[in-house]
């Protein structure tokens, strides 16, 4: 049963829209082996489409939130270049007024979870608006990304290895295409948290604000793409 608006607001502490929630156990295998929470972005389909075609950079962009410290330096240079691209995309996204406005729409009910929900809903908007942003068929693109992750998964540190395995097993990228799929993603995400909150009812809030999200994403994605294209990501040292 979904949480009512007043009930959800009462158990989710509010926070400023820019504050991103720190996940501890979003995917299986994180627990003690993962060694704690990380600032995890959930808009991975957008990250994938913003990546160059070079496989290592694509993988690095997608796994950046799960590889920290010395583990990064053990990876190939192209992976680290992709991680730097991930950082640049996140820095642009987290401070952009369009993203903040969308987060503010969800914040009264969802508090610190709002930025994560915006990430997921923006990937839904990307899925729906795909033809406006890519000449490649969406399912074809996703299949190619999945194959690249499978080929390189053995090279990944433990946290990233677990996360990529779960992403592939749950087929998150294709589930973003429908609101039913988004509900499943949010249900699985909530089940792997230890906070006793249901996230799937956030789909109802998205429906209320869908026009604002659709327009916001349509305006935002060309801006972040232009930001990525304006400066080549420097090679890691």
pLDDT value, residue 145: 98
**Residue 110 belongs to some domain of the structure:** yes
**Residue 11 belongs to some domain of the structure:** no
pLDDT value, residue 76: 95
**Residue 13 belongs to some domain of the structure:** no
Determine the angle formed by the axes of helices 138-152 and 158-170, rounding to 10 degrees. Answer: 150
Overall number of domains in the chain: 1
Its domain, for residue 215, covers 22-230
Residue ranges in the chain modelled with pLDDT below 70:
1-41, 194, 232-237
Token pair recorded at residue 105? 């729409």
Please tell me the pTM assigned to this model.
0.83
> In 10 A of CB 150, how many CB atoms?
12
**Residue 39 belongs to some domain of the structure:** yes
**Residue 122 belongs to some domain of the structure:** yes
**Residue 1 belongs to some domain of the structure:** no
Q: Distance between CA atoms of 83 and 204, rounded to whole angstroms?
A: 34
Alpha helices in the chain (DSSP H): 5-11, 44-50, 55-63, 70-73, 77-94, 97-110, 114-128, 130-133, 138-152, 158-170, 172-175, 179-191, 202-208, 210-230
pLDDT value, residue 164: 95
pLDDT value, residue 70: 87
């Amino acid at each position: 049963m979904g949480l009512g608006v007043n009930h959800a607001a009462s158990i989710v502490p509010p926070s400023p829209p820019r504050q991103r929630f720190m996940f501890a156990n979003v995917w299986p295998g994180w627990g003690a082996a993962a060694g704690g929470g990380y600032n995890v972005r959930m808009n991975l389909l957008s990250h994938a489409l913003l990546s160059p075609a070079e496989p290592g950079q694509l993988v690095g962009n997608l796994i950046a939130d799960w590889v920290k410290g010395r583990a990064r330096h053990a990876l190939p240079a192209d992976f680290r270049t992709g991680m730097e691209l991930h950082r640049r995309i996140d820095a642009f996204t987290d401070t952009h007024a369009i993203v903040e406005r969308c987060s503010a729409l969800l914040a009264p009910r969802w508090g610190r979870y709002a930025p994560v929900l915006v990430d997921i809903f923006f990937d839904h908007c990307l899925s729906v608006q795909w033809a406006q942003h890519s000449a490649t068929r969406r399912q074809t693109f996703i299949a190619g990304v999945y194959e690249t992750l499978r080929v390189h998964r053995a090279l990944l540190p433990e946290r990233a290895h677990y996360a990529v395995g779960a992403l592939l097993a749950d087929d998150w990228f294709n589930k973003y295409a429908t609101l039913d799929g988004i509900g499943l993603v949010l249900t699985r995400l909530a089940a792997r948290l230890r906070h006793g909150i249901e996230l799937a009812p956030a789909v109802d809030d998205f429906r209320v604000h869908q026009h604002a999200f659709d327009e916001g994403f349509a305006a935002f994605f060309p801006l972040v793409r232009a930001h990525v294209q304006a400066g080549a990501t420097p090679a890691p040292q």
